[in-house]
Amino acid sequence: MSRCMSRTKGVSSFKGGHQSKAKTYSAKSDQTREREPDKPSSIMEEEIGSGTPKTTIIVGAGSRGHGYPYYAVVFPKQLKVVGVCEPRDHHRQHEVKQHNIPPENVFKDWKEAAEREKFADSVIICTPDRLHKDPAIAFAKKGYHILLEKPMAVTEADCKEIVATVKENNVILAVCHVMRYMSWVKKVKEIIDSGVIGDVVNINHTEPVGFWHFAHSYVRGNWHVEADSSFSLLAKCCHDVDLISYWMRGKPCQRVSSFGNLSHFHKGDKPEGAAYRCLDCPVSIENNCPYSAKKIYLDRVKQGHRGWPTSVLCDIVDIENVTDALRKGPYGKCVYDTDNDVMSHQVVNMQFEGGATATLQMVAFTKKLCAREVKIYGTKGEITVNDGELPPIKVFNFLTHKTDSFDPEDEMAPLPLMGHGGADYQAIKAFVTALHDQDSKVIETGPDDTLASHILCFAAERARKENRVLNRNSQGEFE
């Protein structure tokens, strides 16, 4: 999953919001990702479990697989990491050191762990998109509860198989549609449920990916070729399809169409004289390219930035290693000279049961980075959301002609779990709570909701490729 950061805020009453600063715990980090454990205060002390931690295994220790398990560092009485499966030596050994994992529970291949007798309560699966299904199935059959990075899988059939398997084996499945845990998302749902804007008749939702973020993840990065990962709507916007369904309050989508294109990032738009790699590009051309790898990566390192996106390029982030990565690896290629094939912008049109409509727009070419823009139109009022702005939510009431503003405040969260405005922390906390309570009711996106929104994603992409409207039949399938 590509990574977006957002302003941090959290839960407030419907009667009004207020402005407050983001609340985090700091954690020292150096260029090798080493961190000093956060010290939870009384505010952060959670009453979860009896004091005996539930255990988990990390399956895939990349950015996401490093982040979620950090919960165990801050709350050792709630969660303990007892195993790791990761093919890359540096990432694997980092988790071994951070969680003091015994040698017998350290694996290069997850299959080795799955073949063992069950030795933990759960697994946290953060492998690449196309490698989600097999470990999810294998560990579910062994009785492990599962926290699974989104997307659930990259085909509809695989998603259905995962859901069927977790149900057959009575295990908890939480899929990381973390945006449902964001404070502004929950506040919007609360406002809709209150009835103040009447019945929702239309949602207009924009996901501004960010011009350099798209170049990083979808032109040069792990998600640039559909056959190796997934189509960009699923990889980037299954969050957003899920949110639209969430705000439609359980009404199923009945019809869907979609249009999109891969614009600009192809050989036809490559400036004359530009080199294959940014490091070799003439200064006159590189200086005028907003997608230059030198600007996106080297300039950040020179300014002291050691986190994402530069941390993706190499294990130890410094000028020498980043330069070497740009010289040899995919992130140093000219954006007009890669083999990328995923959509740079796409629109999805949906009609839900009862007639309500929605439009989702994914756009690569934006200043904003994953800060959603939403308009929700109801029969008695409308909601405007500008994530990242203060206040983020405004509600206009047709009866009073007044506009109320809301700025919900987030709970505190450890810095390594501040991704998606602290929603990463809320997602893993809900999963740990479910483990202790043996009850999945606290999980926002379990198997059924996740499957429904994923099926809608697959239908939208199929509608785009087949250039037609798909309709939902009586069995819930789109045809």
Residue range 411-441, pLDDT digits in tens? 778 887 888 878 999 999 999 999 999 999 9
At residue 465, does pLDDT exceed 70?
yes
Q: How far apart are CA 375 and CA 396, in angstroms?
A: 11
Q: What value does the mean pLDDT take over residues 314-320? A: 95
Q: Shortest CA distance to 344 belongs to which of 210, 148, 451, 183?
A: 210
Average pLDDT taken over every residue of the chain: 90
- Give pLDDT, residue 51: 82
At residue 23, does pLDDT exceed 70?
no
pLDDT digits (tens, 9 = 90+) for 302-315: 999 998 999 999 99
pLDDT digits (tens, 9 = 90+) for 330-382: 999 999 999 999 999 999 999 999 999 999 999 999 999 999 999 999 999 99
- Give pLDDT, residue 4: 54
Concatenated DSSP letters for 73-127? HH-TTTEEEEEEE-SSHHHHHHHHHHHT--GGGEESSHHHHHHSPP-SSEEEE--
- Give pLDDT, residue 47: 72
Among residues of the chain, what percentage have pLDDT more than 70? 90
Least confident of 20-29, 385-394, 417-426: 20-29
Q: From residue 438, how far is each of 65, 68, 170, 174, 442 by CA, in Å?
A: 23, 20, 11, 13, 10
Confidence band for 18, pLDDT divided at 50, 70 and 90: very low
Q: What value does the mean pLDDT take over residues 299-303? A: 96
